Structure 1
Amino acid sequence: MVRAARLTAHGLEALRVEDVASPEPGPGEVLVAVETVGVNQLDLNLIAGVGPGAAVRLPRTLGLDPAGTIVAVGDGVDSSRVGERVVVKPNVPCGACSWCARGREADCLAQTVIGGQRDGGAAELVAVPHRNAVDRRDLDAAVASAAVHSVPIVLNALETAGVAAGERVLVTGAGGTLGQAAVQLARHLGAEVVAASRQPLDLGADVTTVRAPSPAELATELARAVPDGVDVALDVSGHAGMLAAGVGALRWGGRAVFCSASVETSLELDARAFYLRRLRLIGVASADHAQVRRGIDLVADGVVRPAIARRYPLDRIADAYREFGEHRTGKVIVDVA
């Protein structure tokens, strides 16, 4: 038996830490002894039964991004992986579709999510596909959990948008976990960064910061701070209005890319301006295997430093979800081991 955070029905009151049967790794899987797992917006959607969380079958063990050590392997997996320190890529591609064949697992139509369609890592042990268990190099488990979902997604967004050195990139929602990673990665790519947030930010002298509690205020502040516009608008806030304000600031041929649409989803755009100015709109929801490996490398090499706002023991995981909105300056981590 192992301890796990199980959701038996929609609603936080239905989340319990209880003893469940120990999982066994199936063919092509590894068994990970979990040290840490992150708290994510998708978890909250699942708990509330909204958006992509509405279709998930319950009961379910939560936890998208566990980090720990491989303690057993299933058939077809090299036994030398036992003892490897890993972090888990949350999205599991089907491996058989045309997108997967092109190495674009992030766009797989049949992908599932650990902690969603299958039991997750808010448990002492979790079985995952061996490809999803990524070597975390020398990273602390908490840092690896904080990085494995957010950094590769933002890396995918910036690469898909084709950000080049010297371009100006606007990041809306820059104070959060995804936003901080986006600012650091965009700077690493040689971009000029404009960071917008509802709260005051201090990101260094080479980053233009804009405080904008509403889309209207963001549009006003951008017109003042960067009157000649931006090349890329990257929204990680989940507020469609903020994305629309970013689109309004795009230069000719600009690209807008968003990694979240979970808070406010109704997007209004000026179709004529979008057409005449040759703009593009891109949605990114996960990352390819190669991007996950590159993202972990960038963190291990010190290019990106994920911030951790607070840590909770597994027994208090319900409090971690309840208080999630209070910690906007970094990742919330649950210590499982």
Structure 2
Amino acid sequence: MRAALLQAHGLDGLTVAQVDEPAPGAGEVRIRVETVGVNQLDLNVIAGRGPGAAAKLPRVLGIDPAGTIVAVGPGVDADRIGRRVVVKPNIPCGRCADCRSGREARCPAQSVVGVHRDGGAGETVVVPDAVAFDRDGLDAATATATVHSLPIVLNVFDAADVRPGDRLLVTGAGGTLGRAAVEYGAHLGADVTAASRHPLADAPGGVRALTIGDEADLTGRLAADERFDAVVDVSGSARLLGQAVAALDWGGRAAFCAASVDARLEIDARAFYLGRRSLAGVASADLAHVRRALDLVRSGAVHPRIGARYPLDDVRRAYREFPTTTPGKVIIDVR
């Protein structure tokens, strides 16, 4: 089969090559892939840095494929063949205390499709059946645009305990995660302020949009006494997160899910504990978050934006141009 195979670090080490078709083992399914997304984690694997350094080369890339089940391994109901599915990238171990209690995002032994095992940027991929979710009602590209981003957003909202009527600040609102967070916050009934480096022209009605520019100076765009009940930060900037935490009101809750831009966080510890504030980090999602996310998109409550699309043969260009392409989820069309 044809697949996007990384044989050495760097884009020069990435080729579309013929590789053996994988066979499903116990509890696994083989999926004929239609679409897969382009993600920052793919770039980390290509560069061999951060969480991507865990990938052993050669490796087929692609963390969030969508397609149709064409074969099943031992222990999987044969009725799954023909099901249209999308894959959750993070695979929990299923055995630890967190997994047994339904908190799979906290599993300390989880692996990732396209990092620890071959991914979905190929004609077929094999994954555990537990992370192959039915996508009935959703086309493949929409399912790919949903399955990784929106579940993490839901987990961040849960971690920040965002409630209807909350004064909610979303930082990093212009990216794929940020737009999902703004839309979901509005759906929940929060009073949303969306801060992004570039103008957010298509924010939902009632959302206040702040353009903070390349310097990401949030403090300079807020009134001196302006405070928020909750902060959801998806910017990847610890500097911006620190400014957002400083704007929390008494008992304010903040949660974030990235540190890709800069990682050194500075907060006023005295103001933080005296103000009864809280801060949580989120790196993945529970299986229940995926089901909730797919249902939200099916219902029309959240609308994932599809950006640029590339054929599999153009996969190197897709990674080279990411993330400077059209806003929205970048899709690789495998079929």
TM-score by length of 1: 0.97
- Picking from 225, 228, 249, the partner of 2:226 is 228
The answer to whether the 8 A contact 1:176-1:328 is kept is no
Residue 272 of structure 1 corresponds to: 270
> Would the alpha carbon gap of residues 269 and 328 (structure 1) be closer, same or farther in structure 2, given more than 3 Å must change?
farther
Give secondary structure in 1 for the equivalent of 2:308: strand
> Would the alpha carbon gap of residues 236 and 328 (structure 1) be closer, same or farther in structure 2, given more than 3 Å must change?
farther
Amino acid aligned to 1:250: L
Shift of 1:215: 5.8
The answer to whether the 8 A contact 1:28-1:75 is kept is yes
Listed one character per residue, the Cα deviations across residues 294-329 of structure 1 (whole Å, up to 9, x for unaligned) are 100101111110001110000111111111121362
Rounded Cα–Cα distance in structure 2 between residues aligned with 1:11 and 1:5 = 13
Structure 2: stretches of 5+ with no match in the other structure: none
Rounded Cα–Cα distance in structure 1 between residues aligned with 2:226 and 2:238 = 22
Rounded Cα–Cα distance in structure 2 between residues aligned with 1:90 and 1:205 = 32
The answer to whether the 8 A contact 1:215-1:245 is kept is no
% identity of equivalent residues: 60
Amino acid aligned to 1:213: G
Listed one character per residue, the Cα deviations across residues 210-239 of structure 1 (whole Å, up to 9, x for unaligned) are 001256621111226xx4311111111111
Rounded Cα–Cα distance in structure 1 between residues aligned with 2:231 and 2:49 = 27
Structure 1: stretches of 5+ with no match in the other structure: none
Rounded Cα–Cα distance in structure 2 between residues aligned with 1:251 and 1:329 = 32
The answer to whether the 8 A contact 1:175-1:328 is kept is no
Q: Which is worse superposed, 105-114 or 250-259?
A: 250-259
> Would the alpha carbon gap of residues 113 and 57 (structure 1) be closer, same or farther in structure 2, given more than 3 Å must change?
same
Rounded Cα–Cα distance in structure 2 between residues aligned with 1:330 and 1:10 = 26
Alignment of 1:168-247 (within 5 A): 168-202=167-201, 203-214=203-214, 217-223=217-223, 227-247=225-245
Rounded Cα–Cα distance in structure 1 between residues aligned with 2:274 and 2:293 = 35
The answer to whether the 8 A contact 2:160-2:255 is kept is yes
User: Over the residues paired in the alignment, what is the CA RMSD in angstroms?
Assistant: 1.1
Q: Which is worse superposed, 324-333 or 211-220?
A: 211-220
The answer to whether the 8 A contact 2:9-2:46 is kept is yes
The answer to whether the 8 A contact 1:15-1:318 is kept is yes
Q: Which is worse superposed, 82-91 or 327-336?
A: 327-336
Give secondary structure in 1 for the equivalent of 2:223: helix
Rounded Cα–Cα distance in structure 1 between residues aligned with 2:243 and 2:8 = 37
Rounded Cα–Cα distance in structure 1 between residues aligned with 2:279 and 2:111 = 24
Residue 30 of structure 1 corresponds to: 29
The answer to whether the 8 A contact 1:36-1:68 is kept is yes
> Would the alpha carbon gap of residues 267 and 53 (structure 1) be closer, same or farther in structure 2, given more than 3 Å must change?
same
Residue 4 of structure 2 corresponds to: 5
The answer to whether the 8 A contact 1:214-1:242 is kept is no
Rounded Cα–Cα distance in structure 2 between residues aligned with 1:289 and 1:270 = 35
Give secondary structure in 2 for the equivalent of 1:245: helix
Listed one character per residue, the Cα deviations across residues 69-117 of structure 1 (whole Å, up to 9, x for unaligned) are 0000000000001000000000000011111111000010000000010
Equivalent residues, number: 334
Alignment of 1:1-337 (within 5 A): 2-202=1-201, 203-214=203-214, 217-223=217-223, 227-327=225-325, 329-337=327-335
